[in-house]
A and B are shown apart, each in its own frame.
Chain A
Amino acid sequence: MSVHPDSAPVSAPAPAGDTGTATGTGTATEPSTGTGATTAPEANVLFSTAKPRPKPTPGDGPSTADTAKRTPDDVDLAGIGGWTTGEKLVAAAKAAEAGTLPGVGTRQGELTRALSGLRDQLGAFELVLPVPGVEEAREQRLDLRNQLVDYALPRIEGASAPMLVVLGGSTGAGKSTLVNTLVGSRVSATGVLRPTTSSPILVCHPEHAEWFLEGPLLPGMGRVKGPAPDAIAGDQLVVITSEEIPPGLALLDSPDFDSVFEDHYEFATKLMAAADVWLCVVTASRYADAMVWQMLERARENGATIGVVLSRVQDGAGGEIVEHFGEMLVEHGVGDARRFTVPETRVEESRLPEEAVEEIRAWMTGIAEDPDHRRVVIGDTLGGVLDSLRTRVPELAEHVKAQVEVRAELAGLVESAYGGNLAELDEATRNGSLLRGEVLARWQDFAGTGDLLRALRTRRNKLGFGRRSARRHRSPARVRALKGALRSGLESLIIASAEHAAEQAVTAWRDHPAGAQVLAGSSVSGLGEISPELSRRVSRAVSSWQDHVQELVRTEGVTKRSVAKVVSFDTEALALVLMIGLLGYGTSEVNVEGGNSAVPQRLLKALFGAESLRGMGAKARADLRSRIAMLFDEEGLRFGQALDSAGIPDETVPVRLYQAVYNLEVAR
């Protein structure tokens, strides 16, 4: 068993508390639910028979004659279906703790609630990413939901409803012929054209027609009162009444599961899941079809009670085939299925000779006429279905986890693309590779012509003799030009890097099957490029960084006292020198030859002192990095949006599924 209380979240309702109040308040609070009317009497019955304790007054009495009539059945059924099948450890422990036997009615309500909760959880997410096995997972989810909605919930609600025998099988296996024979009249079309039956046909005793027409069974399907008109949409359940069918039994002729019509397969599986007994009809010529065995295994996993009819067995080799078939049944784990054989005979008026189906009829009549037997079968199936949830839901949760993991993987791809580029960018702003082309030319112009030195002024000699006034007006121009060149160099470096990252991320996604799907379905356009507003943001970030550096120089550039006495400086120009130094002037191979490798550093060190310079440098660099990281984060966010809009389940879904199963276990 893969689910046990330990694995469920702690927030699960405390069992003891629940059962402690079950006898007193449970029934009293129950009437609000749809099953309240029928639960109350059950509680009474159980109390009067099982527990000699002062009987609490139920919230309301039996409201209809019908419920009163059904009461004993219900109790028995619950006893069989809910208690004797499977190991009810949780429930037993619960009962022991509370020192009482919990009221059946309460339990039914709880069960319904737990199942509805599970159903809601199952519908609360989508398996969108194409991870391996997702197809099966989707089908599994649909199956689970369908089985809860079509079978488990209605079955608990209408416990006394007749036992539903669903006939399924390959096309041309003779399902309809078998139904016609059992009913004794032509209720379902037969013929040589494949597939023959396109809409499911349900045959029941007139007494139960109302239940099948109005009841909660298979809520997704429409109902048509038979005999049906010829053309009927596939999702209509044709209900035909026949006196031939004993009360307490209903036959459902379902479409094939292996013909070219995909919807037939859907209905066949849906109906299979809704069956109390699933009767699989296969023919002697195709009993080795992969499809047949897939369906049988599926039925087994779904907890159905299975019967197998091997039809159209020819006289000659019959024994050999039956034997081989039996071996295969055992091999596939359905060896305990009830087996029947129908020989290949003439079909007259869409019916087989009576003797061919004697065995099946006897078995059915046996079940139908013996309520205890019937209850055992129904209870077994319900128990089996509920048992199967223990493994099936966790399996599904694993698939959901896989989706969550893939989502994380995709997010990780984006992160590594941007992270890698950020690191490269960091390196590029450090190793001097930015100091090329225009930036370098402007720096040379600025430094070489002496404008840099002119930014330093001797304090005492403000009106220096021989200052060439013709040059003076060019000084701010060179500063401005260098500043602009630095800005545009940084900007284009950042933008190119962001572009590169976006491209890398998209390529990584495109190469990832799940990523390709997210990309294809994404409403966020232009993921492979930078976002349109990036260039604006970048220029804002870079110029505010420059301002920041200037501010640093102004406020933190504590000039060495010895220097401060003699020299004053121009903040703007020195901020530029600091930036050039930060960007790695002199570290790049191209600048070493001149012998002026560390000019900015030496100048700054002389001005500010090593410590102050280090502090400023670290701050300025950290500021630049954080600004770029922020820009990149915003860029990466678009991928996050694409993931979000893809509707991938988040990590709470598996937890909620586990919890729903746990709740169910507690409720049983």
Chain B
Amino acid sequence: MTTSAPPAVADLPRDPAAAPGLTARLDALDRITTAGAGRLDPALLDDAAVLLDRAGQRLRLSGEHTVVTLAGGTGSGKSSLFNAVCGLELSPTGMRRPMTSRAHACVWGLDGAGPLLDWLDVDKRHRYARASALDLQRADDSLQGLVLIDLPDHDSIQAMHRAEVDRFVSVADLLIWVVDPQKYADAALHRNYIVPFARHAGVTLIVLNQVDRLAADEVDECVADLRRLLEAEGLAKPRIVTTSAVTDEGVRGLREVLVDTVAARQVRGDRLAVDVNDIGERFAPYKGEAEPPTAVDVPHGDALKRALTDAAGAPAVAEAMESAYELRAADFINWPILSMAARLRSDPLRRMRLGRLREELRGAFTGPTGAQQGEVDTALLDVTDEVVADLPAAWARSVRAAARRNAADLPEELGEAMRDALPGFNQVPRWWWLVKTWQYFLVLVSVLGLAWIGLLVAYGVAHVAKAPSGWVGEAGLIPYVAVLVVCTLGMGWLTTATSRNLVALSSTKHGERMERHMRDRIATVTEQKVLEPISEELALYAAFRDDVDLVRGA
């Protein structure tokens, strides 16, 4: 192949001689190759790309010409046959083996054949043209458009020859295998060429050469045996022609076949169609039998959302936030006197010289911080189980990979989603201030009450001095003021208890709302980051299935 750039299949020449739909099928093959990258067997994709490349180039090159190769074992008489068809001694023949080492080409009708021969990479020294003015006596219009190529053997000790044969048989339009009575059952030919190219029966011709060495009845016997052998190898309706290069008449049958083939101008498209079929068949195992689902079903999707919610720890986060809320509320609503009492209590932390730890711990509530990778991965494990159950292994893998495509970002995304739900929690309701004010007012009242009692005791009971007013001198007031102080303290306690219950209620409400919010946001993230990639991959697979059908011509 002279150029390696892949062909833009879209602008392939629409050749009427090409089999109908060939271009569409090549287009489909191109899409398969693109879609399959990274998903299917690379060797197969490479083969498909090579075929696309070759098909594109061949379709661009002369459609007027038909490339026919003569291939066979050493000594089967390929060159003699070649010369007989050409009518000239172009390719050397002889008794030594192996004889021909380079491909020789003969062209009938030169117009446009040059690029084709360049593409085929036939050595310029080994190119010959017929139907030039020089040999009018044998000029044969009926073979106009034939490019006949005489190949080296494929079974000699020269390994190089085999590579040359392989190169040509993969690009030829019509394959002619030349065999002779002595070696028509050779494993080298059958195993390496006939069987792999069995599906190319339509563009294959078997020539039994050297029939002059057999008696007439032996020829029939031989052909029948050869036919039986070929059919056993999967070659449908093999075309067999007998020839003998010794006499002119001996190659007439072959000539006729060539004339028909060249005139029909069909084998080029046929050959490519078979190749496309072939490769389509190789893609078939990746197609799978059952109609694939288009998305993860609802129960599995829900299960995944639940699992991711758990992985992000949404309930725990909500609960922690509730605790934080209540803790914050406590600063406002707690009965200040109790707090003071608690501060006086012996504190182990202080004894351990960790006094500031308490404040630091209060700052522990930093909000949700994403999910754990491990739990996210575990949650993603099973989500595709149901979907890929009927998928071929390669696609099952790719769907599974699609599910995990964003796995690494997911913890962060989930954290982000949960943080969005936070603000409702950070506000400080107005009534907390009211309560706080009320509490301090009560504290003030009780302090004043206590002070009053103190004054009453001082002036009314102990008579330390003359009471400045009757309000402080009347000892009889003490019980009343005491009752007032007790009531105030009781009210403070009552306020705290009531407020605490209110806070608990609203924190629960907030917590529930936040959890719901988080669930919703997590569900959205799950849709975007997990379920949608799965659906996309499944859609790709569905398109792939259609394309495979198209390529296979089904």
The answer to whether A192 has its CB under 8 Å from any CB of chain B is yes
Q: A464 vs B347: C-alpha distance in the bound complex, in angstroms?
A: 10
**Known: A260-B185, A606-B353. Contact between A321 and B361, CB under 8 A?**
no
Chain B nearest CB from A600 CB (Å) reads 10
* Chain A interface extent, by class: 35 or more
**Chain B contacts for A402, CB-based, 8 A:** none
Q: A320 vs B218: C-alpha distance in the bound complex, in angstroms?
A: 31
**Chain B contacts for A456, CB-based, 8 A:** 348-349
Contact with B along A438-449 (1 / 0, CB 8 A): 111111110111
Chain A nearest CB from B432 CB (Å) reads 18
Q: A434 vs B214: C-alpha distance in the bound complex, in angstroms?
A: 85
**Chain A contacts for B415, CB-based, 8 A:** 436-437
**Chain A contacts for B386, CB-based, 8 A:** none
**Chain B contacts for A52, CB-based, 8 A:** none
Which residue of the partner chain B has the closest CB to A170? B183
Judging by beta carbons under 8 Å apart, are B364 and A194 in contact?
no
* Chain B interface extent, by class: 35 or more
Q: A468 vs B155: C-alpha distance in the bound complex, in angstroms?
A: 97
Judging by beta carbons under 8 Å apart, are B361 and A457 in contact?
no
Judging by beta carbons under 8 Å apart, are B312 and A464 in contact?
no
Residue among B74, B348, B354, B373 making CB contact with A602, cutoff 8 Å: B354
The segment from A1-9, A34-42, A386-394, A494-502 found at the interface with B is: A494-502
Which residue of the partner chain A has the closest CB to B315? A438
**Known: A259-B187, A436-B415, A489-B374. Contact between A192 and B214, CB under 8 A?**
yes
**Chain B contacts for A195, CB-based, 8 A:** 185
The answer to whether A543 has its CB under 8 Å from any CB of chain B is no
Q: A234 vs B60: C-alpha distance in the bound complex, in angstroms?
A: 53
Contact with B along A571-591 (1 / 0, CB 8 A): 000000000000000000011
The answer to whether B324 has its CB under 8 Å from any CB of chain A is yes
Q: A290 vs B97: C-alpha distance in the bound complex, in angstroms?
A: 11
**Known: A172-B182, A289-B156. Contact between A448 and B96, CB under 8 A?**
no
Judging by beta carbons under 8 Å apart, are B96 and A286 in contact?
no
Chain A nearest CB from B246 CB (Å) reads 13
Which residue of the partner chain A has the closest CB to B313? A438
**Chain B contacts for A321, CB-based, 8 A:** 95-97
Chain A nearest CB from B216 CB (Å) reads 12
Judging by beta carbons under 8 Å apart, are B375 and A492 in contact?
yes
Judging by beta carbons under 8 Å apart, are B320 and A448 in contact?
yes
| Residue with the greatest number of chain A CB neighbours at <10 A, chosen from B347, B348, B354, B411 | B348
Residue among B187, B319, B351, B358 making CB contact with A563, cutoff 8 Å: B351
Q: A193 vs B223: C-alpha distance in the bound complex, in angstroms?
A: 9
Contact with A along B92-109 (1 / 0, CB 8 A): 001111100000000000
Judging by beta carbons under 8 Å apart, are A448 and B74 in contact?
no
The answer to whether B341 has its CB under 8 Å from any CB of chain A is yes
Judging by beta carbons under 8 Å apart, are A466 and B342 in contact?
yes
Residue among B97, B98, B225, B312 making CB contact with A437, cutoff 8 Å: B312
Judging by beta carbons under 8 Å apart, are B188 and A441 in contact?
no
Chain A nearest CB from B373 CB (Å) reads 7
Which residue of the partner chain A has the closest CB to B95? A317
**Known: A314-B95, A448-B324, A457-B348. Contact between A289 and B313, CB under 8 A?**
no
Judging by beta carbons under 8 Å apart, are B377 and A496 in contact?
yes
Judging by beta carbons under 8 Å apart, are B364 and A260 in contact?
no
Judging by beta carbons under 8 Å apart, are B221 and A193 in contact?
yes
- Which B341-384 residues have a C-beta within 8 angstroms of A? 341-342, 345-349, 351-354, 357-358, 360-366, 368-375, 377-378, 381
The answer to whether B1 has its CB under 8 Å from any CB of chain A is no
Judging by beta carbons under 8 Å apart, are B95 and A567 in contact?
no
Judging by beta carbons under 8 Å apart, are B374 and A449 in contact?
no
The answer to whether A84 has its CB under 8 Å from any CB of chain B is no
**Known: A171-B185, A466-B345, A485-B313. Contact between A289 and B364, CB under 8 A?**
no
**Chain A contacts for B190, CB-based, 8 A:** 260
| Residue with the greatest number of chain B CB neighbours at <10 A, chosen from A195, A488, A563 | A488
**Known: A289-B73, A458-B346, A606-B353. Contact between A260 and B341, CB under 8 A?**
no
**Known: A457-B348, A606-B354. Contact between A285 and B313, CB under 8 A?**
no
Judging by beta carbons under 8 Å apart, are B218 and A291 in contact?
no
- Which B66-111 residues have a C-beta within 8 angstroms of A? 73-75, 94-98
Judging by beta carbons under 8 Å apart, are B354 and A594 in contact?
no
**Known: A193-B222, A448-B361, A481-B316. Contact between A324 and B73, CB under 8 A?**
no
The answer to whether A330 has its CB under 8 Å from any CB of chain B is no
The answer to whether B310 has its CB under 8 Å from any CB of chain A is yes
The answer to whether A189 has its CB under 8 Å from any CB of chain B is no
Chain A nearest CB from B153 CB (Å) reads 8
Judging by beta carbons under 8 Å apart, are B366 and A593 in contact?
yes
Chain A nearest CB from B69 CB (Å) reads 20
Residue among B188, B316, B320, B338 making CB contact with A466, cutoff 8 Å: B338
Q: A291 vs B162: C-alpha distance in the bound complex, in angstroms?
A: 13
Q: A593 vs B354: C-alpha distance in the bound complex, in angstroms?
A: 20
**Known: A192-B222, A289-B156, A458-B351. Contact between A439 and B366, CB under 8 A?**
no
Judging by beta carbons under 8 Å apart, are A293 and B378 in contact?
no
**Known: A316-B95, A499-B377. Contact between A596 and B182, CB under 8 A?**
no
Which residue of the partner chain A has the closest CB to B159? A290
Chain A nearest CB from B133 CB (Å) reads 37
The answer to whether B10 has its CB under 8 Å from any CB of chain A is no
| Residue with the greatest number of chain A CB neighbours at <10 A, chosen from B73, B218, B221, B372 | B372
**Chain B contacts for A607, CB-based, 8 A:** 352
Residue among A173, A259, A450, A566 making CB contact with B185, cutoff 8 Å: A259
Q: A493 vs B218: C-alpha distance in the bound complex, in angstroms?
A: 78
The answer to whether B116 has its CB under 8 Å from any CB of chain A is no
- Which B164-201 residues have a C-beta within 8 angstroms of A? 180-188, 190-191
The answer to whether B311 has its CB under 8 Å from any CB of chain A is yes
Q: A193 vs B185: C-alpha distance in the bound complex, in angstroms?
A: 9
Judging by beta carbons under 8 Å apart, are A193 and B225 in contact?
yes
Q: A328 vs B156: C-alpha distance in the bound complex, in angstroms?
A: 12
The answer to whether A633 has its CB under 8 Å from any CB of chain B is no
Chain B nearest CB from A170 CB (Å) reads 7
The answer to whether B483 has its CB under 8 Å from any CB of chain A is no
**Chain B contacts for A283, CB-based, 8 A:** 182
**Chain B contacts for A485, CB-based, 8 A:** 313, 316
Residue among A173, A285, A449, A452 making CB contact with B97, cutoff 8 Å: A285
The answer to whether B323 has its CB under 8 Å from any CB of chain A is yes
The answer to whether B448 has its CB under 8 Å from any CB of chain A is no
- Which A498-531 residues have a C-beta within 8 angstroms of B? 499-500
Q: A566 vs B315: C-alpha distance in the bound complex, in angstroms?
A: 37
Q: A365 vs B312: C-alpha distance in the bound complex, in angstroms?
A: 95
Chain B nearest CB from A435 CB (Å) reads 8
Judging by beta carbons under 8 Å apart, are B95 and A495 in contact?
no
Residue among B155, B225, B351 making CB contact with A194, cutoff 8 Å: B225
Judging by beta carbons under 8 Å apart, are A291 and B95 in contact?
no
The answer to whether A83 has its CB under 8 Å from any CB of chain B is no
The answer to whether A54 has its CB under 8 Å from any CB of chain B is no
Judging by beta carbons under 8 Å apart, are B378 and A492 in contact?
yes
The answer to whether A46 has its CB under 8 Å from any CB of chain B is no
Chain B nearest CB from A386 CB (Å) reads 30
Binding site for A on B (CB under 8 A): 73-75, 94-98, 153, 155-159, 180-188, 190-191, 214, 218, 221-222, 225, 229, 233, 310-313, 315-317, 319-320, 323-324, 327, 338, 341-342, 345-349, 351-354, 357-358, 360-366, 368-375, 377-378, 381, 411, 414-415
Ordered by A's residue number, 28 sampled pairs between the chains whose C-beta atoms are within 8 Å are A171-B185, A192-B218, A195-B185, A258-B187, A258-B188, A260-B185, A286-B75, A288-B153, A288-B157, A288-B158, A290-B155, A314-B95, A317-B94, A321-B96, A321-B97, A437-B313, A437-B411, A441-B317, A442-B316, A447-B364, A448-B320, A448-B324, A449-B323, A492-B372, A563-B351, A596-B361, A602-B357, A603-B354
List 19 extra interface pairs beyond A288-B97, A441-B319, CB under 8 A.
A192-B222, A259-B185, A259-B187, A260-B187, A290-B155, A290-B156, A290-B159, A290-B188, A317-B96, A320-B95, A321-B95, A437-B415, A453-B349, A456-B348, A494-B374, A593-B366, A595-B363, A596-B360, A596-B361
3 closest Cβ pairs, A-B complex: A438-B313, A493-B374, A288-B97
